[in-house]
Amino acid sequence: MSILPDEGGSFSHLTKHCDMKKGLLYALYALIGLVVVAALAFKIFQPVQVVPRIRLAPGFSLIDQDGQRLTNEDLRGGFVLYNFTYTRCPAPCGNLNQTMQEIQSRLDEAQLGDISMDFVTISFDPDYDSPTVLKGYADGLGADTSQWKFATTPDETLLKAIIGGGFEAYYNQKDDGTFAFDPKFVLVDGWGIIRGEYRYQTQVPDTERILRHIRVLAEEVRNSQGSASLAYEAAHYFLCYTP
């Protein structure tokens, strides 16, 4: 083996050097390109989808259909789907309960695993909706009150702050005693954060959307540990929200 350059050796050395420089440059391009593609892919394909963390759900202490205290702290740790109504509500109100019932009967589709899920119907008519009335109402619906609670509080100022302020569900009693109100469902996670708000639509029931959101939320709770939490935080950051 000779260390002496052969004919034209110095020239080939030069091109080789050039090649290396070029190679390095290409490698740099490729690396940068890869990062950009990864970022775009994350945004476009959204490998992880989440439901937004909208705001804090209100704190409350209500009385349920059995006369028992029901607080937001009792419900912490599991998901809760809330809706707001009153038992004297005329006919179309029944559809809200149907949605609650349908979601409960199809809850296995949401694949909750060991995450608990409660349903709470809050009445904004405490004058009439005593625990006894709420109990009768629950029985009439065939509700399993271990999972589906009916509650209210006689403190109307606080009730307004909870439903109107915290859950942002409008209601107002009219002169004839009936209520004008915002038919709404609110999904709250185990940390007490509102993750979904659904205005009831008569044409397209929200059932599918709510079930889908519960499933996505359960996936996030199960998977967002360790390094996967970065992907979930990125999904929140890039607003990769589930439709």
Partner 1 sequence: MLKNKRWTFIIGLLAGMGMAVVAVVTLPRLQPHTFYGTVLQSPDKAPDFELDTASGTVSLEDFRGKIVLLYFGYTFCPDICPATLAEISKAITSLGKKADEIQLMMISVDPGRDTPEMLRDYVTHFHPSFLGATGTEEEIAQVATMYGIFFEKHEGTEATGYLVDHTATVMVIDQEGHLKLVFPFGAPAQEIADDLAFLLK
One-letter amino acid for residue 6 of the chain: D
Distance CA 243, CA 238 (A): 14
Binding range to partner 1, per CB under 8 A, among 95-103, 139-147, 191-199, 210-218: 191-199
Q: Which of 13, 14, 29, 109 binds partner 1 (CB under 8 A)?
A: 29
The yes or no reply on residue 20 touching partner 1 (CB under 8 A) is: no
- Please give the span between the terminal C-alpha atoms of the chain, in angstroms, as a whole number: 69
- The least CB distance from residue 162 to partner 1, in Å, is 6
Distance CA 176, CA 220 (A): 46
One-letter amino acid for residue 61 of the chain: S
Interface mask toward partner 1 for 62-91; x: CB under 8 A: ---------xxx------------------
Do residues 171 and 157 lie in contact, with contact meaning Cβ atoms separated by under 8 Å? Answer: no
Q: Which of 18, 27, 28, 228 binds partner 1 (CB under 8 A)?
A: 28
The yes or no reply on residue 25 touching partner 1 (CB under 8 A) is: yes
Which neighbouring-strand residues pair with 83?
Answer: 121, 185
The yes or no reply on residue 19 touching partner 1 (CB under 8 A) is: no
The yes or no reply on residue 57 touching partner 1 (CB under 8 A) is: yes
Q: Which is nearer to partner 1, 52 or 78 (CB)?
A: 52
Burial of 3 (0-12, 13-18, 19+ CB in 10 A): exposed
